[in-house]
């Protein structure tokens, strides 16, 4: 029964401070028995996508590179799986929002590039990120088969399904989502409810655990709503962090119960795959 830890943290403007802070949190989580440890989206920086500013491209890292190598050493030292999310410089003028997975022996299992890129007031991500080209992936770690998707991906059932069809038993969503002040009073509760509900739905439909790691605190005009959580395969939230506090949130994942659940709720068996061909259409007129 692996224990997972979600690192819901505030962020500094300086990447090195965030890297050191996150390493300390990883060490603390490991000391509390966590075997899979997950960061929030873009953990090395504040959420810089509130504006379009070319100087922010200087925040990007080459992946794999020194940052992932440091996680490899840390994972091997502590015997834990690390799932982290950062800003990747693939080439000059080509950048991705990318997550990587390090196994408990320190091996680099690979990375996933965010597929769905939003463009909204306060979330100017299309300016910074090229849509991912890795495909949906599942990583076979020492403590379970993990699928990683990132933030805006969490609204798309196709992404969850395809990752589960790759064999993922745990879907992990590093996230940066919050309220804008002009919307919170009227829509804040509904927005948060939709965010949690759709991901719990993915857990039910795919018979898997879903893990969402959000940041907390206010950056600029955005109040990140925290509330990182873990859902079981029934869509029940079994662990949840507060709104406005840092938290190392842990939960124990019963993989034997998940196996039994998939035997009696055989969604994958009963899929009528021959009827789904139009799912690749943009819209069906």
Compute the residue count for the chain: 285
pLDDT at 41: 98
Q: Which residues contact 219 (CB under 8 A, 6 or more apart)?
A: 11, 46, 47, 50
Vertex 119 angle, CA 117 and 123, to 5°: 100
pLDDT at 44: 98
Do residues 49 and 114 lie in contact, with contact meaning Cβ atoms separated by under 8 Å? no
Local confidence pLDDT in tens for the 285 residues of the chain: 999 999 999 999 999 999 999 999 999 999 999 999 999 999 999 999 999 999 999 999 999 999 999 999 999 999 999 999 999 999 999 999 999 999 999 999 999 999 999 999 889 999 999 999 999 999 999 999 999 999 999 999 999 999 999 999 999 999 999 999 999 999 999 999 999 999 999 999 999 999 999 999 999 999 999 999 999 999 999 999 999 999 999 999 999 999 999 999 999 999 999 999 999 999 999
The values of phi and psi at residue 156, to 5°, are -110, 110
Sign of the four-CA dihedral 275, 281, 283, 285: negative
Domain for residue 275, yes or no?
no
How far is the CA of 232 from the CAs of 205, 206, 257, in angstroms?
A: 11, 11, 10
131: which 2 tokens? Answer: 């849509």
Domain for residue 282, yes or no?
no
pLDDT at 253: 98
CA-based Rg of the chain, rounded to a whole angstrom?
A: 18
Domain for residue 279, yes or no?
no
Domain for residue 283, yes or no?
no
pLDDT at 46: 97
Catalytic residues, which ones?
Answer: 41, 114, 151
Omega prior to 64 cis, within 30 of 0: yes
CA distance 81 to 2: 11
210: which 2 tokens? Answer: 């879903």
Taking alpha carbons only, the member of 190, 149, 145 closest to residue 169 is: 145
pLDDT at 121: 87
Total domain count, the chain: 1
Range of the domain at 60: 3-270
For residue 216, what is the domain's CATH number?
Answer: 3.60.110.10
Domain for residue 278, yes or no?
no
CA distance 53 to 38: 28
């Amino acid at each position: 029964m692996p224990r997972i830890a979600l690192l819901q943290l505030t962020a500094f403007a300086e990447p090195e401070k965030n890297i050191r802070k996150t390493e300390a949190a990883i060490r603390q989580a490991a000391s509390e028995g966590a075997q899979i440890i997950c960061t929030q989206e873009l953990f090395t920086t504040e959420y810089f996508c509130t504006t379009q500013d070319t100087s922010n491209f200087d925040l990007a890292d080459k992946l794999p590179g020194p940052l992932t190598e440091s996680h490899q050493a840390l994972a091997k030292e502590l015997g834990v799986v690390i799932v982290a999310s950062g800003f990747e410089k693939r080439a000059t003028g080509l950048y991705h929002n990318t997550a990587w997975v390090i196994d408990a022996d320190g091996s680099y299992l690979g990375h996933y590039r965010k597929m769905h890129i939003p463009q909204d007031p306060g979330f100017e991500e299309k300016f910074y990120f090229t849509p991912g080209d890795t495909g949906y992936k599942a990583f076979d770690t020492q403590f379970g088969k993990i699928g990683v998707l990132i933030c805006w991906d969490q609204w798309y059932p196709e992404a969850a399904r395809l990752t589960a069809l790759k064999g993922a038993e745990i879907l992990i969503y590093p996230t940066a989502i919050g309220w804008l002040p002009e919307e919170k009073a009227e829509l804040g509760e509904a927005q948060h409810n939709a965010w949690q509900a759709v991901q719990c739905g993915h857990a039910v439909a795919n018979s898997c655990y879903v893990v969402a790691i959000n940041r907390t605190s206010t950056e600029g005009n955005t109040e990140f709503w925290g509330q990182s959580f873990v859902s079981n395969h029934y869509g029940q939230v079994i662990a949840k962090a507060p709104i406005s506090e840092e938290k190392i949130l842990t939960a124990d994942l019963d993989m034997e119960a998940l196996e039994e659940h998939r035997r009696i709720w055989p969604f994958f068996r009963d899929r009528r795959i021959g009827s789904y061909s139009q799912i690749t259409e943009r819209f069906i007129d």
